[in-house]
């Protein structure tokens, strides 16, 4: 599983010109599910997303998690993150999870985030989405695992 996380002041997702998910301050998370991902992978990634310290403390150091900052999470499924780009000029998607597994993992991740009490919004699995955001910093990290 790969999660590209961005600290944002706001973010939203539109499908067919309608907003399907939006947040204020928090994390925009693009998720790419790989074929070998399991429920344990999802649980581990949920904990990392909730506890990863990328908001500034009073001293200006990145020591505050999204939970501690009382931020929100916008989770957007993004198949292309699972691509293997190691060779050539065209990505390979051989490591990407089949749609049923990918959707299950995305839904399980959303459930885990919501169960933590963290406000969580989502994009729409399998849809053509338009994502708008204001990256704060900019701060962007790729979490794998």
Q: Among the options 38, 80, 85, 140, which is catalytic?
A: 80
Burial 59-98 (b: 16+ CB within 10 A, else e): eeeeebbbbebebbbbbbbbbebbbeeeeeeeeeeeebbe
Could you confirm whether 40 is annotated as catalytic? no
Q: Which two tokens stand for residue 6?
A: 């961005």
Could you confirm whether 30 is annotated as catalytic? no
Q: Compute how many other C-beta atoms are within 10 angstroms of the C-beta atom of residue 131.
A: 15
Q: Among the options 9, 79, 124, 125, which is catalytic?
A: 79
Burial 8-25 (b: 16+ CB within 10 A, else e): bebbbbbeeeeebbebeb
In 3D, which of 23, 16, 54 has the Cα closest to residue 133?
23
Could you confirm whether 120 is annotated as catalytic? no
Q: Among the options 30, 34, 55, 78, which is catalytic?
A: 78
Q: Which residues are catalytic?
A: 78-80
């Amino acid at each position: 599983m790969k999660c590209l996380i961005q600290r944002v002041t706001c973010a939203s997702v539109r499908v067919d010109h309608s907003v399907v998910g939006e947040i204020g301050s928090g994390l925009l998370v693009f998720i790419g599910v790989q074929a070998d991902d399991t429920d344990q992978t999802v649980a581990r990634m949920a904990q990392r997303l909730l506890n990863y310290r990328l908001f500034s403390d009073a001293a200006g150091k990145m020591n505050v998690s999204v939970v501690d900052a009382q931020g929100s999470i916008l989770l957007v499924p993004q198949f292309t993150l699972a691509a293997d780009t190691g060779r050539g000029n065209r990505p390979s998607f051989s490591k990407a999870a089949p749609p049923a597994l990918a959707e299950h993992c995305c839904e399980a991740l959303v459930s885990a985030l919501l169960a933590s009490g963290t406000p969580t919004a989502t994009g729409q699995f399998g849809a053509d989405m338009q994502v708008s955001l204001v990256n704060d910093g900019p701060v962007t990290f790729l979490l794998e695992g």
